[in-house]
Structure 1
Amino acid sequence: MSFTVAIVGRPNVGKSTLFNRLVGKKLALVDDRPGVTRDRREGDAQLGHLSFRVIDTAGLEEAKAESLEARMRAQTEAAISEADALLFMIDARSGLTPTDRAFADLARRSGKHTILVANKSEGRGGEAGAMEAYGLGLGDPVAISAEHGEGMAELFRALRDCFPDDQDDETDDQEDEAGLKRIRVAVLGRPNAGKSTLINALLGEERLLTGPEAGITRDSIAVDVERAGVPLRVFDTAGMRKRARVEDKLEKLSVADGLRAARFAEVVVVLLDATHPFEEQDLRIADLVVREGRALVLAISKADLVKGEPGFAARMRSEADHWLPQARGMPVVLVSGLTGEGLDRLVKAVEGAYEVWNRRVPTNPLNRWLTETTGEHPPPAVSGRRVKLRYITQPKSRPPSFVLFCSRADALPESYIRYLTNGLRATFDLPGVPIRLTLREKANPYADKD
């Protein structure tokens, strides 16, 4: 593992937490107090199929030449010179500081490939800081939560681009030996929902072990499928029960492996049992997929058992939008692994969801939509002052993510944000994918004047 990555940034932004997650062990001491890490710490890291050496460094601080802080900085600068790539980390919750800007220049002058990482981006509290990070001029920030493991798939893709070709043996779209770009699809669901049976039906052979017993699948197994002209790489996963019911250590590891497959997938098929659809655990799994930013497809398995029920498909469509409004319009397909019913429709639904997940909307139509939407239903006045919505743009896709520039971002009600999100979904045809809408407040040029 000759490729080396150094994690750098000011104190207390979460460098050691990310280091521990990458090496899979709690090697680095972590505490809320800044300055805990002083020496360089190295470890062997694994992210997806990438293997590399990672260096945890002391927080970068301005200091006098003979001080302890200056010697710590010298250790960090040595790690920068030794590394092939840098993860420059900021705290998305506290936003950019002058120290971040100063050391962003240091990273830029090093000439090393630098990936900007906005840590602590979970929830709405970190969204604004992640968007603010564009101001550092280090490219698109990768929003993660090192503590909770969110955003690791995006970090994997960013790191993959700077690896040498001999290590990068898989592309983001899973290009195989024949040059086919395969969509990464994870199949999730409760135990005994029929995941392995469905994948065997897609393959046309008994590739995966199946049976009436729940919990047969333990590892996440990847198989290549081409059906209806769509090349896929499909991951079978262990069934997911409620956390309180999982006591066996092996089952915990199996579920964790399934969650990892979901985080690195592009489309996730959540398999529901037609005889007991939309149970609480089904909704939890689907919500996890949306929070991870993946495209969602619902497959109602064992459809042969409910074939005689009139209006069943329409009822499933209605219940899906009712129980999962955060991914309204997601494809709902009735399938049967035993009879092969609905398999081509499922593959086409996966292809369509993947296309929507990658969709970008031009800025001009977005702002015309914003003008019309706010004209029909203006944002409510708060404390006698109306919130002004000025400009909207889409900085990234996968999933579609929008930034809305406005005044008094903290005063805009959650209900109005949902109204805007639903409007974006309906107007620009974005069904079944999570939509990220971040509010960004422009600085008041007169704030510091008398």
Structure 2
Amino acid sequence: KSSLFNRIIGQRKAIVEDIPGVTRDRIVSTAEWRGIKFEVVDTGGYITGDEDKFAPYIRKQVEKELELSDLFIFVVDGKQGLTPLDKEVANILHRTKKPVIVAVNKIDDPEKEKLAYEFYELGFENIIPISTIQKLGLAELLDKVVEYIPEYEKEIQEEEEKEEKRDYIKVAIVGKPNAGKSSLINALLNEERVLVSEIPGTTRDTVDILYEKDGQKFLFLDTAGMRKKSKVEYGLEFFSVGRTIEAIEKADVVVLVIDVNQGATEQDTKIAGLIQRRYKPAVIVINKIDTVDKKTLEKVEKQVRERLYFISYAPIVFTSAKTKEGLDELLEKIVYVYNQAWKRVGTGQLNRAIKQIQNLRQ
């Protein structure tokens, strides 16, 4: 808990003051996130029984905060898993009738996010995997915190209204370093030369590129460094788990770029897992096809399908940034999967589909 507390008050150096609490185990600080200030209280670990001489005092402080606080971040141990004490604390928090965010700590690898699922048993809607050591999930956690602050609600509403009015598809180009992401974007931009504008992204060194073809606009997300000559520099800059997750979460469609010379690697599988767990429409690009023959291409396609079976819904497009082959098809597939994702299905059609599935299971 204290590690998370320190991370929160240290975000963007927004700490305003430290006030020693009534006991040594209670500290109050003011933090800031996205321009919104809020007070954070670090309490001692909740202990049942009186074996620990400080237990009664700690419980008293925790109970005091249950009355005074507007929102609770319930920190649990993702490695240890769900414990009886977690359930006991959850019952106490449920009785407050106040919002609760469950922060599942020690999830230091995206593949371990599934460890957080069992905590849904506690009955809370907001379950967020984090790692205070790796600084993973903290932005998502703080975004959720400020959603509960009244002055932020108006900003959220304004953002949603802007989203409804936008006329472009947000596209995240993701993949391991040197898969050819930057070359692919450069090929698209150079082909049509219709770069409309450069929009500053959410991070200081990020530029999102707005691009138009045949009247359809695309906003390529998190493309800082994409037009630099050094692919290695770009790869190191972009391929961090945090940046990849952020791009995937913001996107309407995710394009996963795979190097045909390597096929789907373990790293590609992890990224595909991030896409699948966030229910994002996706297109798989097998890039650099000018470097292999047709027989090799067929083998790679089969290997990619087998390894990334869990996103079998994603169409595959074969591209070459060098020859510009497949670029038009890529844009067409992006539009196609976007439209499919937003397609409304009637109740009758849905019921018939469910009945067919039930018949297959009998």
Partner of 1:279: 262
- The yes-or-no answer on 1:136 pairing with 2:131 is no
Partner of 1:324: 308
Which 10-residue stretch deviates more, 149-158 or 179-188? 149-158
Partner of 1:164: 150
Q: Distance in 2 between matches of 1:298 and 1:310?
A: 18
Contact 2:26/2:41 (8 A) holds in 1: no
TM superposition score normalised by structure 1: 0.52
- The yes-or-no answer on 1:205 pairing with 2:187 is no
TM superposition score normalised by structure 2: 0.62
- The yes-or-no answer on 1:351 pairing with 2:338 is yes
Q: Deviations over 1:117-157 (max 9, x none)?
A: 444566898857733x34433x3351514255555676467
Q: For residues 387-406 of structure 1, what are the structure 2 equivalents within 5 Å?
A: none
Q: Distance in 2 between matches of 1:365 and 1:163?
A: 43
Q: Distance in 1 between matches of 2:356 and 2:140?
A: 25
1:261 is aligned, of 221, 243, 246, to: 246
Contact 1:225/1:232 (8 A) holds in 2: yes
Q: Distance in 1 between matches of 2:245 and 2:75?
A: 23
How far off its partner does 1:347 sit? 1.8
Contact 2:198/2:210 (8 A) holds in 1: no
Q: How many residues were matched structurally?
A: 320
- The yes-or-no answer on 1:298 pairing with 2:284 is yes
**Closer/same/farther in 2, CA of residues 319 and 100 from structure 1, 3 Å limit:** closer
**Closer/same/farther in 2, CA of residues 96 and 329 from structure 1, 3 Å limit:** closer
| Runs of at least 5 residues in structure 2 that lack an aligned partner in the other structure | 14-23, 344-349
Q: Distance in 2 between matches of 1:222 and 1:126?
A: 28
- The yes-or-no answer on 1:333 pairing with 2:317 is yes
How far off its partner does 1:81 sit? 4.3
- The yes-or-no answer on 1:146 pairing with 2:131 is yes
**Closer/same/farther in 2, CA of residues 99 and 71 from structure 1, 3 Å limit:** same
Contact 1:40/1:75 (8 A) holds in 2: no
Partner of 2:29: 42
Q: Distance in 2 between matches of 1:116 and 1:366?
A: 38
Q: Deviations over 1:173-203 (max 9, x none)?
A: 9652663497653212434542542664689
Percentage identity across aligned positions? 21
1:105 is aligned, of 67, 76, 91, to: 91
Q: Distance in 2 between matches of 1:79 and 1:278?
A: 57
**Closer/same/farther in 2, CA of residues 318 and 163 from structure 1, 3 Å limit:** farther
SS at structure 1 position matched to 2:162 = coil
Q: Distance in 1 between matches of 2:59 and 2:72?
A: 15
**Closer/same/farther in 2, CA of residues 251 and 231 from structure 1, 3 Å limit:** closer
Q: Distance in 1 between matches of 2:359 and 2:138?
A: 33
- Superposed CA RMSD in Å reads 5.1
Q: Deviations over 1:70-127 (max 9, x none)?
A: 3333433444445432122333454444433333233233342222344456689885
2:46 is aligned, of 60, 63, 69, to: 60
